[in-house]
Structure 1
């Protein structure tokens, strides 16, 4: 693990008034933690505070919502960003899944309070409450149109909903345990689901039928991701000739983040294993960064980056803390990761500092959704937070 700077979760409120203080620290592997403080010496007419730091840290810049500091001893620099706004009335308990419509105007989220809701991203106003699952909804997604919703629940059911009137015209049944993740093929003629029963299934939305069990792992599949693989990657020979009901499955690779410490790639059309990577702990989530490069986050805090042509040895392994990696999302030339200790950070190739999305106080950040320059997070404290990036 590299050195990392931590800051008081409510630093914005603490440093908003004269003489206000907030703590800051730097953890350096193998060395004692460096502790310091930040103090507000006054607030300008523009509302931006003037901040002085203890000698162990250097303040490089501050706005109303961001603070850029470094620790020379740890050779580390971080920019901390507080929420643009927070929605506290959408859910009463942990927000476990979150998505934003393609146009950016609507949010979709589910919670351990048993609800799944569609809401306006500008003010958090509830537009629809989607009722039909028995017990909690584990995962939910907008179709690319933004007019249709896909969801999977503890009840082992997969449902398709109208975002316009809240009706549920389609329910898929076939999994024998709770649904853990979902993926939509192209525009949404087909979808893929994974479950605690260890299987990933391909469904035909128009015919409300299961086309195939794409994978049967014998262990829960915690997360999936689907994309077109580079044409140099051998995705295996199809077991059957392409049919009109499976249009769009050719050339696609399905990633499986498995409970048994394996990350697997399966050809969606061939249903054959393309590669398997053995990790250090259970994998919770996975994403594509490109047609050749994938990321997977594990229970021990490791984020593994792989080239699918040479999957045995990682390109790199990133570990910011020992807390479980709960969600990964692509962002520009990098990615966003959230963890079980309340941290959520952005790593970009062309940046010399870590961008940390702050405010959760040690509460796990379960889910992240991106809409252009806006990032939304769902947390155990039941709050949906909206961050505005530069």
Structure 2
């Protein structure tokens, strides 16, 4: 059963607006302006100019006032900015700037940036990896995030060129990067039909021209592009999906395929998790023990949601070694992203036409809600669970306007616009709980990795 998709608004702001405010606050200019644009489907867009002006008496106070267009901008005590637009019914929406921007100047040169096609941040948040169209992968250390609140919300720019560890595990574009739970090993996949296991240790002495790391193992069995990967438990078994319409379960140590599952159409995205309490096919909930010694005991409790190019998603049970559910298409467009959250019993899909759909995994035949903004590819999607038990979705889009949507208990609604990229597609994001803060990391076509604290 399909529900009518809701149309969510877009609040877009000049990506350097905090620098404009900072320069006025520092006295470099008595005032300056930056632009704000607001959009909503089927309604006229609103374009505005906001003037940042230093107070005549309090030289640490910057006033923000719309001088062209009908918008309002405010700043709270923690330094976060919010923008509202009454004509479009847009309530104050947080516009969140990154706390850090990681730039390898050779890879993020504005005149010739290297598009980041895949990205992952390690489980311990000590390092991250970026993959590129030429088949290369670079490993970088992270830096500690600045504490909040702070006087300025301008991003901390970090030059990482001198601390990279290069590798070239693929002949062409890298499609997926996944750190193993140890944070010391990396699983990669590519357009060249292969997967590799790559060491991910940071060097004792960083060097711009560090020694290239070679894969310790290459896994081959797919006959078309490998689109996604997942790691089971500590990593003895892994899972991959492909445009060859298969999902494969592997043993890492031997590089052998344990099981291969045929899907209804090519697989564009995949998400691994624990088995549902009540299987959708109504059969028994506990599979028999596997007789294959290559398979770890933890594998039998796992399921894989696959987002298909047909617009459907299909659920595979790794214990029973079969497909247990296939949905009706929510749209005719490919499911370019999919995310399963076992703790909240939620499944989210994102399509190549900008549609995000949410399901309760206890009743997969009925949509909880669906929404869209602009007709743009949903490149990546991740669940964000906050301390108040509210649930959100961090969403990366090909229009360069990533955002966080609140979905439960209220929503769907845009809770934060993730500002930073200047119209460059954002194809990868990861949500991580780091201490008491939920973080969202993004990587975009401008070759820059951005770190946000929600």
In the superposition, the TM-score normalised over structure 2's length comes to 0.79
The 2-side partners of 1:64 and 1:22 are apart by 21
* Cα distance per residue 1:102-157 (max 9 Å; x no partner): 11111111012432011011143534212232122211110011011100112111
Q: Structure 1: which 5+ runs fail to align?
A: none
Runs of 4+ deviating beyond 4 Å: 43-48, 62-65, 234-241, 350-353
Contact 1:65 1:83 in 2 (8 A): no
Contact 1:257 1:285 in 2 (8 A): yes
Q: Structure 2: which 5+ runs fail to align?
A: 1-6, 25-29, 108-112, 144-157, 204-212, 386-390
Alignment of 1:153-232 (within 5 A): 153-164=190-201, 166-217=213-264, 219-232=265-278
Report the counterpart of residue 119 of structure 1 in structure 2: 140
Report the counterpart of residue 32 of structure 1 in structure 2: 44
Report the counterpart of residue 75 of structure 2 in structure 1: 61
Report the counterpart of residue 100 of structure 1 in structure 2: 121
Structure 2 residue matching 1:15: 3-state secondary structure: helix
The 2-side partners of 1:183 and 1:315 are apart by 26
The 1-side partners of 2:195 and 2:58 are apart by 53
Contact 1:177 1:196 in 2 (8 A): yes
* Cα distance per residue 1:192-219 (max 9 Å; x no partner): 00112121100011222100103333x3
Residue 65 of structure 1: how far off its partner (Å): 6.4
Report the counterpart of residue 382 of structure 2 in structure 1: 329
The 2-side partners of 1:79 and 1:309 are apart by 33
Structure 1 residue matching 2:347: 3-state secondary structure: strand
Mapped pair 1:110 → 2:131: yes
The 2-side partners of 1:353 and 1:306 are apart by 18
The 2-side partners of 1:65 and 1:119 are apart by 29
Mapped pair 1:309 → 2:362: yes
Structure 1 residue matching 2:41: 3-state secondary structure: coil
Q: 1:13 to 1:173 in 2, by over 3 A?
A: same
Alignment of 1:127-142 (within 5 A): 127-142=164-179
Alignment of 1:141-152 (within 5 A): 141-152=178-189
Q: 1:232 to 1:130 in 2, by over 3 A?
A: same
Alignment partner of 1:344 out of 399, 402, 424: 402
Contact 1:65 1:81 in 2 (8 A): no
Alignment partner of 2:334 out of 278, 282, 285: 282
Structure 2 residue matching 1:310: 3-state secondary structure: coil
Q: 1:356 to 1:319 in 2, by over 3 A?
A: same
In the superposition, the TM-score normalised over structure 1's length comes to 0.91
Alignment partner of 2:89 out of 64, 75, 79: 75
The 2-side partners of 1:305 and 1:31 are apart by 25
Alignment partner of 2:31 out of 12, 19, 22: 19
Residue 53 of structure 1: how far off its partner (Å): 2.3
The 1-side partners of 2:61 and 2:271 are apart by 41
The 1-side partners of 2:415 and 2:280 are apart by 36
Structure 2 residue matching 1:33: 3-state secondary structure: strand
Which segment is superposed worse, 343-352 or 253-262? 343-352
Q: 1:361 to 1:63 in 2, by over 3 A?
A: farther
Report the counterpart of residue 52 of structure 1 in structure 2: 65
Alignment: residue pair count:
388
